[in-house]
Copies of this chain bind each other. A is one copy, B any other.
Amino acid sequence: MKAEIIAVGTELLLGQIVNSNAAFLSQELAVLGINVYHHVVVGDNPERLDQVLTEAEKRSDLIILSGGLGPTKDDMTKQTIAAHLNRSLITDAATLKTIVEYHEKTKRPMPENNKLQAVVIEGSTVLKNPTGLAAGMFIKENGKMYVLLPGPPSELKPMFLQEARPLLLANSDKPELLVSRVLRFFGIGESKLVTILDDLIENQKNPTIAPYAGVHEVTLRLTANGGSEKACNELLDRLEATIQERVGTYFYGYGDETTLVEVVVDLLKEKKLKITAAESLTGGAFQSLLASVSGVSAIFDGGVVTYSNESKTKVLGVSSDTIKQYGVVSEACSIEMAEGVKQLYGTDIAISFTGVAGPETLENQPAGTVWIGLAVTGQKTIAKCFHFGRNRNGNREQAALSGLEMVRRILKNIPLDEE
């Protein structure tokens, strides 16, 4: 099945917003085995939308439209499609009821034009809007399928997943069940991961394997199809076991939304261990990452930012001899920082960051050189040296994340360094 995604909205053509809906829908359609061959953006203009639609019908079987379902004069997507397909517009009673009840419940006056959001194309399957008011639509005509979705991503995503996806599955060439599993990796580049899994990727069939490089991490989306969820999961389990055997030490979690910091905070909570940090080049980025997780107070009381040499000595008790002899971009300094902040905050674990954010060099070390120290109660304090890139804030982010990964490995008894 060939699909095309048409976004309707002049704000996209003015560059005021980015068409992130097209990326979301494309990812989802890829998982369903539906090929997307075109994205189009057109303004709030019935004539041009009609032309774009005529073009799309020549080359695509499935046409997904986003935007233009709202109550204002600009919104003309369903009006244009109705005219294009020679159908009438009718009010959907169930949607209207939801809209009226919403205004009653929230004690807001209902502007008359809000009722327009309950108007749908005759003969369409109405798609409920779990997070907004405008109804979506699914239409089959002349062997083509049309899906109309609202423009705001917060409405489009749930409507697609809950309402449109099942209809597409039921109407697609692949009526079997599709089950996906996302594996997340940190500390390994995409090219290395793909090289290690080369044979699996080359010979993929069912499940499929889709690698994706994020900013500082890599994910693999495994997708199996089969007659039942159990059958799909068995296929996924088997493939995942092979992958874990080869690159399992870099694997930190499942799912589209999971983050390394959440995984580390959960591990610390599970083991009831408190953590603190002393940050130089990261300047608070590591602790701010921790604080981004709700409920972190169970394992985090605070820490320090010691940006200047003097503050490392004064606040953390790093010896000025150490700094004189080895510099602050050194194993010795990172170890004393970690031990100093551990004592100050009385925690089980303490981590330290010292290095060269850049762009300038420091102590003759190039930008991106970072020492991370790790002090754990009952263990010898260790430190690891990293060499990141040349971008100041990229280096700071990578350092903070690499610190989290060091903590994850210590808590999971995984060696810090791979062969």
Contact = CB atoms under 8 A, between A and B. Distances in A.
Interface string A7-41: 10000111111111011111110100000111111
Given A288-B285, A291-B285, A14 B27 contact: yes
B30 A23 contact: no
A317 interface: no
Given A307-B300, A345-B311, A292 B396 contact: yes
Contacts of A110: none
Interface residues of A, number: 72
A13 B25 contact: no
Interface stretch (A101-109, A135-143, A201-209, A275-283): A275-283
What's the number of copies of this chain in the assembled complex?
2
A285 B287 CA distance: 8
Contacts of A14: 26-27, 30, 36, 210
A350 to B, nearest CB: 13
A48 interface: yes
Name the residue among A36, A39, A43, A296 with the largest chain B CB count within 10 angstroms.
A39
Contacts of A396: 288, 291-292
Nearest to A307: B302
A56 to B, nearest CB: 11
Interface SS majority for chain A: mixed
B37 A22 contact: no
A310 B396 CA distance: 29
B288 A297 contact: no
A360 interface: yes
Contact of A38 (B27, B42, B308): B42
Given A19-B22, A302-B308, 17 more contacts: A13-B26, A13-B36, A14-B36, A15-B30, A15-B36, A38-B48, A277-B305, A283-B290, A284-B287, A284-B305, A291-B357, A292-B392, A292-B396, A294-B358, A301-B306, A302-B311, A315-B344
